[in-house]
Amino acid sequence: MDELAITVIGPDRTSIVADVTEALAGVGANLTDSTMTRLRGHFTMTLICTGPSASAAEEALAPLEGVVTSVRSVSAESDKTDKGEPYVVSVHGADRLGIVAAVTRVVAAAGGNITDLSTRLSGSLYVLIAEVDLPGGSADELAEQLAVAAAELGVEVTLRRAESEIL
């Protein structure tokens, strides 16, 4: 079944989640995966749902005030099994333009796939934490390349194996 990818963003206030999910439930949208958080005072939501047409979802969300929404049809998740080895990249240093772009480009060039990423700006401190799946045996070389990129950016970087599940 096709899925809808929906994004919602707006100044944080009470009831955004209730308003959005109620509107979607009203047109038969069944939420599957979602992530919602507040970024520097903006409440953001990214949702995948099944059920309605994109136009029905758009119509349901249109009356909501104070938020910008987008709806698009996407194909369902593929059965991708080649996941690689999970690692975590940590970067921190003085904020400057292009840190995320430079670091993620190095990861991409090594064949690494970023599966999750967050950044925080705290005063002049910029922090980037990324979870990446790396091709087998590529971590040591990537660590060296990240160190070079980090030195050029004037930031600190560490690459380490992610914790694996115990049970």
Partner 1 sequence: MTITWDGPQGKILPVLTAPDTVLSTVGDEVDPADPAVVQLAADLVATMRVSPGCVGLAAPQVGVGAQLFAVDVTGHPKAATTHGAFVLCNAKIIEASRWKAGREGCMSVPDLTGDVKRAGRVVVAATLPGSGEEVTVTTDAFEARALQHEIDHCAGKLFLDRVAGAHAIYQRKVYL
Rule CB under 8 A: is residue 131 a binding residue for partner 1? Answer: yes
Q: What is the DSSP letter of 138?
A: -
C-beta neighbour count of 113 within 10 angstroms: 15
Binding range to partner 1, per CB under 8 A, among 3-11, 44-52, 86-94, 133-141: 86-94
In the complex, least distance from residue 115 CB atom to partner 1, rounded to whole angstroms: 8
Rule CB under 8 A: is residue 164 a binding residue for partner 1? Answer: no
Q: For residue 11, what is the enclosing H or E element? A: strand 3-11
Rule CB under 8 A: is residue 122 a binding residue for partner 1? Answer: yes
Q: Name which of 105 and 160 has its Cβ closer to partner 1.
A: 160
Give Cα 90 distance to the centre of its chain: 15
In the complex, least distance from residue 94 CB atom to partner 1, rounded to whole angstroms: 4
Residues lying near partner 1 in the complex (CB under 8 A) are found at 88, 90, 92-94, 116-118, 120, 122-127, 129-131, 155-156, 158, 160, 162-163
